Structure 1
């Protein structure tokens, strides 16, 4: 499968795509456009952005075709050995999951606009870009020829976004045998040495946690906008980040660190440690699963914690972000009706919308909160000799590294193995239940000398969540070990 993408009139925001499919033998071929993208568990119906759609044989003769669904076409290919689908895609939105073009930027998420045939998903793909010779390409795919990228199959192709521009800034660093690339497009001049230092620290800390990195290279693809924005999406050996405004200074840098650490953790957790329901992805419909509180909640918990462990954040910076996390759950959703498993399932319904009052919880915010409680429960029982780190290492070794997928029962079994006891209470109250968690959370926060309180001085508005540090030497010692320690198993030393 070969794709050629161009933008002959960038101001129109139209991308022109030629899709070449060869070695045809059947009398008909069905072509499918993805209806959603991994990392965003909602139907986005990318076909709505297709403006013009035509199909030809390899001699340029039009082929008859019929639209079967909103994003599927059946092509008559009797006596035809190859076809070219030629279509335009309207790309007028910039976020971490879209595509966009202007006169100095070509930004592509192939999952938005690349057709496929069901029985050809495992075949190699090439993606050719019609761009000026002086433009750079930032992408996790291998570049096999000028302006041409190669993917081992369609799954790799659509998991590798790209930025092409003459204005890219490129910063590199290495940790062990992995080379990391920071690509930045936007009107900022970063402190290169600070970026390299801080990214190296949190990358190394995450690799120490798991013991190894899944890829030989990794790319932070970053678009900086003049307007306020915060969005990141994980991919196989890259992440797509869109941030702004470009004049926010230290706030923008903190956002960049936070989203980058979060997305890098996904390189293990969900890219490789993946729910079995998502293996392989079915791009035509909803892929329901109940463990997004693991995929996103655990990742959200570790994203900022890793920055503190790596000494990129100090205590004050970390607890500021920690309080924001607690506020986002307890102020609007602390008494919502849904459980975390229901919220995971219903991401496909309204997981990214505000929704009706007191109905749903966030797999990100509540998921991170209950991950914290599980971590502190294990640490308290085992005096920090075991922790959630051990859970994630086992999940990597048993499910991520062999890439076989895990179920909710698998995750529960691993957590109970590490805890050394049944966790019926935890799953009943925190995962399957919907009870308010303030009292239970405060029991665990007290172990690390912290407490969640509500500021009720303003009786008109919703009480604000405050994170308070207790004057408790034992709590301070436990907090120090929780924030600073990654215990390494003998096999990893």
Structure 2
């Protein structure tokens, strides 16, 4: 499949897409636009942003096309062996998983707006882009793009293309740091001063090295932190196989406050390079872009990652103890002040991400796989350290998960894990059965307040409730 992505009229906020599909030998072919994107487990129905779609044969004759679902089109090929779908996509929303175009910025998450041919999702793809003399492009796979030429960027398959966001702009700022042979790129769009890059490079390198120590190696040849700083309050990031897209704001905010957000977001998203981009639940291998991909273990994908995001900043020396405790307290407050008596378990809320996981629910219904998931991960980490006299920790669980389910050797495909697989590895590292932990923390619905305090005392901490019943963290 060959794609051209451009905009005939940037002020209109429409992105134009052409998708050429060759070697057709059937009477009909079905074209599918993804209904959701990895990293956000809810249907987003991107097809609602397509204004018009037409399909043509090699001689530019219009072919008969009909919709067979909300985001799938059936094309009557009429003997054509090559077809080209031409359509436009309305891109007027800025978040870490959207696409946006105006006279200043061309920002694309291909999963939003690239269709694929049914049965051919594993075929290689080419993307054609044009970059003006005064523009730069930020994104994985684009570092060799040459200005003023029509660039051809090759992707292994549609999954690779869909997982590679990019920004083209005249205002991009770039720097990088190296860890071994891996180049970590820093891209900034928006109102951002270069004077902060030295500090950012130093701190980012520290937490990157700490994360690599956990797993033993970095799974990609390079990595790209792409950050867009907005004039309005925002905090959102999305993980990709060797990049992250991050949206932060406001740009008028005190830099130290914005910087804390940047560090927390970037550390979290980098940890996803291992945990979800590679170590992935079996239900998500491969992604099915046409419908919900229900799975029970988002408390591993997001909860463990949330726990480690701040822990890596602390262990690497980027955060001091007071900064780390402030972030811990924020996590505790988000759970205990708002969802301590919720009716759902972590497993149930993982499943129901597809229902209302990212929006306000009815009172006391769901828990956050991020916040309760992080609290449960900390309890497990402290328990493993306790029973092993600090010779093992949750690090060892993640190392073994990486070895068994994340590391692809000699081109072998990744193996997806089940909740039982995760339990088995946790028990192997702990050296004892953990039925109590999974029954109470993962499958259970009761409060974790007392259990958390039981383990926090091991590190001289305690959560307490004030007169209003709100939680605070106390050093003991």
Check whether TM > 0.5: yes
Partner of 2:466: 455
Note the C-alpha offset of 1:9.
Answer: 1.5
Residues 334-357 of structure 1: per-residue CA shift (max 9 Å, x gap)? 110100000100000000011000
Aligned to 1:437: 448
1:343 to 345, 349, 358: 349
| Rounded Cα–Cα distance in structure 1 between residues aligned with 2:154 and 2:139 | 11
Give the match's secondary structure for 1:333: coil
Alignment of 1:9-408 (within 5 A): 9-142=9-142, 143=144, 146=149, 147-190=151-194, 191-248=196-253, 249-402=255-408, 403-408=414-419
- SS of 1:121 mapped into structure 2: coil
Q: What displacement does 1:122 show?
A: 1.4
Distance 2:114 2:424 in 1: 39
- Residues 91, 100 of structure 2: 8 Å contact kept: yes
Alignment partner of 1:332: what SS? Answer: coil
- Report the Cα distance in structure 2 between the residues aligned to 1:422 and 1:40, rounded to whole angstroms: 33
Is the partner of 1:172 in helix, strand or coil? strand
Distance change >3 Å, CA 168–CA 144, structure 1 → 2: closer
Distance 1:22 1:139 in 2: 27
Secondary structure of the residue aligned to 2:40 is coil
Q: Greater CA deviation, 404-413 or 115-124?
A: 115-124
How far is 1:134 from its partner? 2.5
Q: Could you tell me which runs of 5 or more consecutive residues in structure 1 were left unpaired when the two chains were aligned.
A: 471-493
Shift of 1:418: 0.5
Distance 1:153 1:450 in 2: 49
Q: Does the Cα contact within 8 Å between 2:226 and 2:243 map onto a contact in 1?
A: yes
| 8 A Cα contact 1:96 1:233, kept in partner | yes
Q: Does 1:410 align with 2:421?
A: yes
3-state SS of paired residue (1:120)? coil
How far apart, in 2, do the equivalents of 1:285 and 1:271 lie? 19
Q: CA deviation at 1:131?
A: 3.8
Contact kept in structure 1, 2:54 and 2:86, CA below 8 Å: yes
Q: CA–CA distance in 1 between the matches of 2:435 and 2:39? A: 30
Residue by residue over 1:129-156, the C-alpha shift from the partner in whole angstroms, topping out at 9 and shown as x without a partner, is 2442331111112546643322111010
Over residues 261-286 of structure 1, what are the superposed CA-to-partner deviations in whole Å (9 max), with x where a residue is unaligned?
A: 00000000000000010000000000
What's the TM-score once normalised by structure 1's chain length? 0.93
Q: Distance in 2 between matches of 1:149 and 1:247?
A: 36
Decide which moves more: 408-417 or 130-139: 130-139
Aligned-pair CA distance for 1:59: 1.3
Please list the CA deviations of residues 105-128 of structure 1 after superposition, one character each: whole Å capped at 9, or x if unmatched: 110000000000122111111112
Structure-2 change in CA distance of 1:299 and 1:404 (3 Å): same
Secondary structure at the aligned position of 1:119 is classed as coil
User: TM-score, normalised on structure 2?
Assistant: 0.96
RMSD in angstroms over aligned alpha carbons? 1.0
Aligned length: 465
Q: Do the aligned residues in 2 keep the contact of 1:298 with 1:367 (CA within 8 Å)?
A: yes
In the TM superposition, what is the alpha-carbon distance from 1:454 to its structure 2 partner?
A: 0.7
- Measure, in 1, the Cα distance between the counterparts of 2:215 and 2:99: 33
Does the CA-based 8 Å contact 1:329-1:361 persist in structure 2? yes
Residue matched to 1:491: none
